[in-house]
Amino acid sequence: MTRPIRIGTRASKLARAQAQMVQAALAATDPNLSFELVAMTTAGDRDVHKKLTDWGYKGLFTKELEDLLLTGEIDLAVHSMKDMPSVLPDGLVIAGMLPRADVRDAWISTQYATLRDVPSGATIGTSSARRAAQVLHLRPDVTVIDFRGNVETRLRKLDEGVAVATFLAAAGLNRLGLHAHIRETIAPESMLPAVAQGAIGMECRAERTEMVELISRISHAPTMTCLAAERAFLEVLDGSCRTPIAGLATLDHGQLTLRGEVLSLDGKIRHFHEMHGTETEATTLGVALGNHLRTLAGEALLTHG
C-alpha cells in the first residue's frame, strides 16, 4: 500500500493501547507498512451519565467506527470484542483477532480484599448489568450503583468514596499497566465473564480482500474459534446491554467447552448450562447452548432482565 493504513479506534487510553498492539503486530509482518491512528469518541463515550441499560440500541461503542469503515474513511477498526453486537452491519467482517488475554473480572477495592469481606449494605459500583446481577446473586445484601467512566475515572471514584469496590476486566488493567490495583481476579466459576471478554478484534469491509488477508496474518485461530461459539450463543439470546448474559468458551486439544449464563437484573434468577463439542462445531455449539438457555429463561427474562 502506498498510503498509510488507517486504523480506527475509540479515543480512550485503553482503546488506543489496543490499537497500538494491532499496529505493532501488523508492522512486524512487513517493515514497509505505515499506519495512521484515527481516534474518535462514540455515543457510549460521550454520554457518561446515562446508564448503559437505558440506551435503546446496541453498538454504543462501535457504530461510529463502523460508519467510517463503510464510507472508506478508515481501513480497519480495532474493537474490544465484548463491545461488539452479535450481528455486524452488511458488508463488514471481523477478519481476525489477537490472542485472547485474561478473561477474568478483577475485584478493585481500597478497603476490602474480596467480595466476601464486604459488609452488608455496602455500595458496589458497576456499569455492567451482568456484573451487577452476578454480585446481587452472590451477595443480595449489598447495594449496586451505576458506575460509568473510563478505567481512570472509576479508580478515582473509588478513592472519592462513591463506592467501596468495583469490577473491571483484568485484561484491560493489564494492558494499561494498572495490574497493581487488582485485589483479586475472580475465577469464571464464581463470575462467568462477558461474551468475548479479553479479546481484541479487527473489523474491515468484506470486499477489501487485501485488508482481510493482511489482518489474517496476525489472527489467532483458537481465539477466533472460541469467540465463534460465544458470539453464536449471544446471537441466539439476542442479548442487549440490559440483559445479564455471560458466556465463555475454552479450547483444549481440539475439544471445546462452552459455558453460558442468563440472570435477572436483580440476580434472584440464574440459569446456567455448559456443553461440549469439537473445535469444528463452535457455531453449532453456541446455537445449541443459546437455544437451551432461551428455553430455560423464557422470553420474559430475556426481554426485561
Contact 158, 43 (CB under 8 A): no
Sheet of strand 123-125, all strands in order from the earlier edge strand to the far edge: 143-145, 123-125, 165-169, 105-108, 184-186
Mutual angle of helices 13-27 and 151-159, in 10-degree steps = 140
List 83, 117, 146, 252, catalytic entry:
83
Q: Is 47 a catalytic residue?
A: no
Q: Is 200 exposed, middle or buried (0-12, 13-18, 19+ CB in 10 A)?
A: buried
Question: How many residues are present in the chain?
Answer: 305
CA distance 125 to 119: 15
CA distance 258 to 236: 14
Contact 220, 98 (CB under 8 A): yes
* Residue numbers annotated as active site: 83
